[in-house]
Structure 1
């Protein structure tokens, strides 16, 4: 047991039917049905392989697509093929979640066989609207259709979906109420790495926060500064723009319009409060980049053109950031410095990620855009640790007990 949660080491798996929740949600090219990335699938392979090679009958539960809009949903069938290729295991797929066909196939599994069910979010119970509006307790989640249909077929539930651990949904938190449960190897590894980062990082410790997920960034920023985890917080992307605006910097009408149109205006005041408390540790860019006549232009933050839209940090800023990264012993990064997908606005992200690849510090990379940037600039294999989680990682770093962690600890005490 670790962190009050059972691990795979606590169970004899041979002959057991194991429901294993993984997070293999990846971008899909719907015109070809091919996955655009396989990072998360690769990460869960060790757990799936260990379960199968230990003689378990393995049933994989997964989702595909953000439930912000139902049109994002897609079958998990392409994932089964990638899992076969990466694991070398016999992995079946069925286009059913918990209906008669799925249950019959589960009953027929042999030791060492693996079955991937279709997208969990095809069930309304797994959608955020269901989660947020009805706000079922975890005990009530055990009464949902999914849990009632699948739990009687299983001996053990394993959650390896750390990236989805901030979700309070039946496939993630319901089974722990009625079955012995454990965390998988990926979950265990991510929990361990991030716990160590929060509890005893080697100093100096630098956090790099960028991108456009504002609520998550400021939640994490305040937490790591409050707890003394971070010695410096380097800012980029929309995070930096909002902090600059909070200090009465005229960031350009293009930038301000975007902030207000995206309903982020309320964060300007919140950012000002955080900055007033931790100004000695929060590093704002001294210069920024914007596009003019399809060309990259740079200006000091006190001289941004009135109509500009800031798209990147400037060259002076990323040199400062590079120096701080090289002087650090631990670096955590979540979110790019600008619109790195475009040539005119990628220089800041490229420079910072290059520094991450060069530094002798222990580097922890989190979030989808951060991983995409690491691949683009060919530094993935130079990172100390790459986390699969985005929202879960940020909420963990903010000090919140994640719903899945709470459910797994409940199971450890109950069974």
Structure 2
């Protein structure tokens, strides 16, 4: 169907971790209240808890977990002590915590860990090397990897959300230890294979959110690889393409697009349209005028655009209903305001009720999901940026490192 291919990634069925000492990279980097330092949304911790429990019950390893949280200097750069408490709550196991990463306290705790026990290291970015991007070969020689690798029998990457990073805990360990993708990572890869390697059609991509430049790269790759039958645009991306088509959005919206640095992207958007990209743009919007909401057509826009309109929701929902593959990335409106969640909620509703295989991207869209309506045909990705980069045609460093590891240890 496309030129995009996913390399062979080793799984837990191919390496021996039964009662072995294992380092598993997870991603429990979650939103933090900048004032109180409290966790605001623990969905990632809950998702990882399921696979941690699965790994412990099936293989009984001495399991050491590693994750980052925020960046140094940012309000969300905190220790993982509270994360450990939540992991204990959701897994049903006592998840030990050590306020160290590669020092003597951490190494002693790792060495003393018994099969069936779980230990969470502190925030991996307390080690400065974990912030530096480099090749897998270089990262395998970092102090981080050289200090910890000799303590382990195997490495497991279950952090697909970090797959676009080339840091020691992601790409360094696979070159020095037998390595595999964890259960969550494997599910992400299976979902991506379904999207990029199947012949199912129609294939609908619903793209919105604030990362307009990244989304343009995605669209260019989709067109290049003939992956999309329809690309339904929402949010700032939709506004960009409407301007590229010569449709006026009113002074307030044009000023906002200018503030966000989106207007210089108009020539690129026009070129994408000339390439024959199957772009659909809204025919109406929900706008905010003097504190009141109105539904207006694109020929009569006045006020600030906040969500896609009722007619657009109906049209987009019909496309989703008839699709075989649906990929959704980014909310349709300003979901921080409850008045402008309708577009996002109803497009998700159409996805729940469709017979398509649905891949829902991470990020803000995940916060709007009704988990009671999920089924085996819907995959909610934990990797917002990793998913975007993959769909842009980029090679994900974590996949490359696991591929190299398979050649080194499993050939």
**Unaligned runs of at least 5 residues, structure 1:** none
Q: TM-score, normalised by structure 2?
A: 0.92
1:3-27 CA distance string (max 9 Å, x none): 4222111122233211100011111
1:176 is aligned to 2:174: yes
User: Deviation at 1:122?
Assistant: 2.0
Aligned pairs for 1:104-143 (under 5 A) are 104-127=108-131, 130-131=132-133, 136-143=134-141
- Alpha-carbon distance between aligned partners in 1 of 2:88 and 2:298, rounded to the nearest angstrom: 51
User: Deviation at 1:286?
Assistant: 0.9
Compared with structure 1, are the counterparts of its residues 30 and 94 closer, same or farther at alpha carbon in structure 2 (3 Å cutoff)?
A: farther
Q: TM-score, normalised by structure 1?
A: 0.91
Alpha-carbon RMSD across the aligned residues, in angstroms, is 2.1
Aligned to 1:320: 315
User: Deviation at 1:379?
Assistant: 4.1
- Alpha-carbon distance between aligned partners in 2 of 1:378 and 1:254, rounded to the nearest angstrom: 39
Checking the alignment, whether the CA contact within 8 Å between 1:365 and 1:383 is kept in structure 2 is no
Checking the alignment, whether the CA contact within 8 Å between 2:158 and 2:184 is kept in structure 1 is yes
SS of 2:288's partner is strand
Choose the corresponding residue for 2:390, options 389, 396, 407: 396
Aligned to 1:23: 27
User: Deviation at 1:34?
Assistant: 4.2
Aligned to 2:62: 57
Checking the alignment, whether the CA contact within 8 Å between 1:252 and 1:310 is kept in structure 2 is no
Checking the alignment, whether the CA contact within 8 Å between 1:201 and 1:229 is kept in structure 2 is no
Choose the corresponding residue for 1:329, options 301, 324, 327: 324
Compared with structure 1, are the counterparts of its residues 125 and 262 closer, same or farther at alpha carbon in structure 2 (3 Å cutoff)?
A: farther
Aligned to 1:97: 101
- Alpha-carbon distance between aligned partners in 2 of 1:346 and 1:12, rounded to the nearest angstrom: 47
Compared with structure 1, are the counterparts of its residues 301 and 382 closer, same or farther at alpha carbon in structure 2 (3 Å cutoff)?
A: farther
**Unaligned runs of at least 5 residues, structure 2:** 1-5
Choose the corresponding residue for 1:36, options 6, 25, 40: 40
Aligned to 1:360: 355
Compared with structure 1, are the counterparts of its residues 51 and 327 closer, same or farther at alpha carbon in structure 2 (3 Å cutoff)?
A: closer
Checking the alignment, whether the CA contact within 8 Å between 1:338 and 1:349 is kept in structure 2 is yes
SS of 1:97's partner is coil
User: Deviation at 1:177?
Assistant: 1.9
Checking the alignment, whether the CA contact within 8 Å between 2:204 and 2:232 is kept in structure 1 is yes
Choose the corresponding residue for 1:290, options 287, 291, 304: 287
Checking the alignment, whether the CA contact within 8 Å between 2:356 and 2:377 is kept in structure 1 is no
Compared with structure 1, are the counterparts of its residues 292 and 48 closer, same or farther at alpha carbon in structure 2 (3 Å cutoff)?
A: same
User: Deviation at 1:29?
Assistant: 3.4
Compared with structure 1, are the counterparts of its residues 210 and 92 closer, same or farther at alpha carbon in structure 2 (3 Å cutoff)?
A: same
- Alpha-carbon distance between aligned partners in 2 of 1:152 and 1:193, rounded to the nearest angstrom: 34
Compared with structure 1, are the counterparts of its residues 15 and 82 closer, same or farther at alpha carbon in structure 2 (3 Å cutoff)?
A: same
Checking the alignment, whether the CA contact within 8 Å between 1:295 and 1:344 is kept in structure 2 is no
